[in-house]
């Protein structure tokens, strides 16, 4: 019999539960990716196209192929199922409302065609909803979730299939063309993701506990690979947990699972405040645009926003600082910030982006919603020598040491760099 594995955000052959099970159980397997015009990949188009190209090569090495179609994933999967006389369609379960609607439509269509429809866990370490508090419905706060999550036995890391047996006469279809202007610092794909993972485990991880709050030091940068499933979160956790310094890192990965389970339990969270903070937000398009452009006149904020524009990635500390600045200093709606991040981040996904934005804005399920990050104090802590600001805000590169964080104290105005958008009294 033949099984179609509909790949979505699990673009890998290593530790891919749906693919592994299909290759073990079925005589023939069709790994399928459907390019859905309803999903606008924004600046992630190039990363995705590289990831698909790499996945196709890997599957070909295993004797199979990546079959690509363009259109509605449900209609295309069913059409292909009829063509190859498949017995089932299997996929990895997702949590966003959009993805869950697609899963429901696919389940209905499969029922109508008498196809075996199965969902596998593949996007998180612990499946959302698996852990529930005693006497409660869902975890809303991270620390109790982490306590239970860290004690939970993780599933075994699966090897790539020994062989992928594609049925005869399947047209592999064409991959989406790479964008003419590649964006970002990172190249998509399982090969590159695994290379970075190996490098990280053998190098950066050891200093993570001490150094991960320093803005000039790059953290693992595995987030875009996790976003598209080019690397498996179970594998990342299993391999890093065994190494010195691994616990702090694993704890961060638990945040990712936490936000997936929150998004799964509270589907309205991506748009609606969990705990409304203010009746109205400031309607200040000019300030929002200065923030987007990295022209607020507050160097650490501008460094973060420009890193995002140049690299499609931003250090976690900078994300917190720019987010707090937008929502708590400028009083601008977090959704404006989340939309901009969603446009430019290679790692943007709904649970993590919206979950973190609500955390920063104090509208989420956080225990300290009134926390306001002081950008200047933060700058001196996370970028003590000003290295990060000098890297991304070249107008200020000539200012020595940490004076780079307070250009307004400089005797002469710095050409091309704006005065701070906030009253200086508010800054220190």
Binding site feature residues for FAD? 208, 219-223, 249, 252-259, 347-349
Give the integer Cα–Cα distance in Å for 421 and 94. Answer: 41
Is 150 an interacting residue with respect to ligand FAD (CB under 6 A)? Answer: no
Q: Applying CB under 6 A, which of residues 9, 69, 140, 256 lies at the interface with ligand FAD?
A: 256
Is 232 an interacting residue with respect to ligand FAD (CB under 6 A)? Answer: no
Please report, for residues 124, 169, 303, 359, the alpha-carbon distance to residue 259 in angstroms, rounded to integers and kept in the order given.
10, 42, 27, 11
**Site map (CB under 6 A) of ligand FAD, residues 258-277, x = contact:** -x------------------
Is 378 an interacting residue with respect to ligand FAD (CB under 6 A)? Answer: no
Say if CB 30 and CB 81 are below 8 A apart.
Answer: no
Collapsing DSSP to helix, strand or coil, 106 comes out as: helix
Piece of 133-141, 172-180, 315-323, 404-412 that binds ligand FAD (CB under 6 A): 315-323
Tell me 204's DSSP state: G
Is 281 an interacting residue with respect to ligand FAD (CB under 6 A)? Answer: no
* Spatial CA neighbour of 295 closest among 277, 280, 311, 309: 309
Please report, for residues 89, 107, 395, the alpha-carbon distance to residue 112 in angstroms, rounded to integers and kept in the order given.
13, 9, 63
Q: How far is the CB of 396 from ligand FAD (least distance, A)?
A: 23
Give the integer Cα–Cα distance in Å for 310 and 189. Answer: 20
Say if CB 28 and CB 84 are below 8 A apart.
Answer: yes
Q: Applying CB under 6 A, which of residues 345, 379, 389, 404 lies at the interface with ligand FAD?
A: 345
Q: How far is the CB of 116 from ligand FAD (least distance, A)?
A: 32
Binding residues: 208, 219-223, 249, 252-259, 347-349
Q: Applying CB under 6 A, which of residues 2, 16, 96, 219 lies at the interface with ligand FAD?
A: 219
Is 356 an interacting residue with respect to ligand FAD (CB under 6 A)? Answer: yes
C-alpha angle 68-73-74 in degrees, rounded to nearest 5: 135
Give the integer Cα–Cα distance in Å for 258 and 270. Answer: 14
Contacts of 135 (CB under 8 A, 6+ apart): none
Q: How far is the CB of 108 from ligand FAD (least distance, A)?
A: 30
Q: How far is the CB of 222 from ligand FAD (least distance, A)?
A: 4
Strands 28-35 and 116-120: unpaired
Tokens 């973060």, residue located? 304
Q: Applying CB under 6 A, which of residues 357, 362, 365, 421 lies at the interface with ligand FAD?
A: 357
Q: How far is the CB of 334 from ligand FAD (least distance, A)?
A: 8
Q: Applying CB under 6 A, which of residues 57, 150, 179, 252 lies at the interface with ligand FAD?
A: 252
Piece of 3-11, 13-21, 350-358, 375-383 that binds ligand FAD (CB under 6 A): 350-358
Give the integer Cα–Cα distance in Å for 37 and 118. Answer: 24
Q: Applying CB under 6 A, which of residues 86, 320, 336, 427 lies at the interface with ligand FAD?
A: 320
Q: Cβ of 374: how many Cβ atoms within 10 Å?
A: 16
Is 49 an interacting residue with respect to ligand FAD (CB under 6 A)? Answer: no
Give the integer Cα–Cα distance in Å for 11 and 349. Answer: 15
Tell me 88's DSSP state: E
Judged by CB under 6 A, the number of residues near ligand FAD is: 27
Burial class (CB in 10 A: 0-12, 13-18, 19+), 283: exposed
Q: How far is the CB of 348 from ligand FAD (least distance, A)?
A: 4
Q: How far is the CB of 211 from ligand FAD (least distance, A)?
A: 10
Q: How far is the CB of 250 from ligand FAD (least distance, A)?
A: 9
Give the integer Cα–Cα distance in Å for 128 and 303. Answer: 35
Q: How far is the CB of 236 from ligand FAD (least distance, A)?
A: 8
Piece of 73-81, 94-102, 174-182, 316-324 that binds ligand FAD (CB under 6 A): 316-324
* Spatial CA neighbour of 354 closest among 345, 366, 342, 344: 342
Give the integer Cα–Cα distance in Å for 99 and 347. Answer: 17
The residues with which 117 forms a beta bridge, in sequence order, are 89
Q: Applying CB under 6 A, which of residues 149, 341, 392, 417 lies at the interface with ligand FAD?
A: 341
Is 327 an interacting residue with respect to ligand FAD (CB under 6 A)? Answer: no
Q: Which residues bind ligand FAD (CB under 6 A)?
A: 212, 219-223, 226-227, 252-253, 255-256, 259, 316, 319-320, 323, 341, 345, 347-349, 352-353, 356-357, 360
């Amino acid at each position: 019999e033949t099984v179609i594995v509909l790949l979505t955000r699990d673009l890998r052959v290593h530790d891919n539960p749906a693919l592994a099970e299909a290759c073990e159980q079925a005589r023939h397997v069709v790994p399928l990716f459907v390019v859905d015009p309803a999903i606008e990949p924004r600046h992630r188009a190039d990363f995705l196209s590289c990831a698909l190209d790499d996945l196709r090569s890997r599957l070909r090495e295993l004797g199979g192929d990546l079959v690509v179609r363009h259109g509605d994933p449900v209609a295309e999967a069913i059409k292909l199922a009829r063509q190859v006389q498949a017995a089932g369609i299997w996929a990895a379960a997702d949590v966003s409302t959009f993805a869950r609607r697609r899963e429901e439509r696919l389940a209905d269509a499969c029922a109508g065609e008498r196809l075996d429809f199965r969902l596998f866990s593949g996007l998180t370490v612990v499946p959302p909803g698996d852990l529930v508090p005693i006497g409660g419905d869902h975890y809303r706060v991270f620390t109790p979730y982490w306590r239970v999550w860290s004690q939970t036995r993780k599933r075994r890391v699966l090897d790539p299939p020994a062989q992928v047996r594609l049925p005869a006469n399947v047209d592999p279809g064409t991959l989406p063309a790479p964008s003419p202007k590649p964006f970002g610092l990172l190249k998509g794909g399982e090969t590159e993701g695994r290379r970075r993972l190996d490098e990280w485990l053998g190098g950066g991880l050891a200093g993570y506990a001490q150094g991960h709050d320093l803005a000039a030091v790059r953290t693992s940068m595995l987030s875009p690979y996790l976003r598209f499933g080019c690397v498996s979160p179970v594998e990342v956790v299993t391999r890093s947990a065994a190494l010195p310094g691994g616990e702090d890192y694993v704890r961060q990965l638990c945040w990712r699972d936490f936000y997936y389970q929150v998004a799964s339990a509270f589907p309205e969270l991506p748009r609606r405040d969990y705990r409304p903070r203010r009746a109205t937000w400031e309607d200040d398009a000019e300030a929002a645009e200065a923030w987007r452009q990295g022209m607020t006149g507050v160097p650490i904020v501008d460094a973060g926003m420009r890193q995002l524009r140049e690299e499609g990635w931003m250090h976690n500390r900078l994300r917190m600082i720019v987010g707090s600045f937008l929502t708590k200093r400028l009083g601008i709606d977090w959704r404006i910030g989340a939309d901009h991040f969603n446009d430019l981040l290679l790692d943007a996904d709904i649970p993590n982006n919206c979950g973190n934005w609500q955390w920063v804005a104090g509208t989420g399920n956080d225990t300290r919603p009134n926390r306001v990050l002081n950008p200047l104090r933060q700058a001196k802590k996370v970028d003590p020598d000003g290295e990060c600001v000098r890297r991304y805000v070249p107008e200020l590169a000539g200012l020595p040491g940490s004076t780079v964080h307070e250009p307004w104290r400089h005797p002469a105005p710095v050409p091309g760099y704006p005065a701070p958008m906030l009253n200086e009294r508010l800054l220190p």
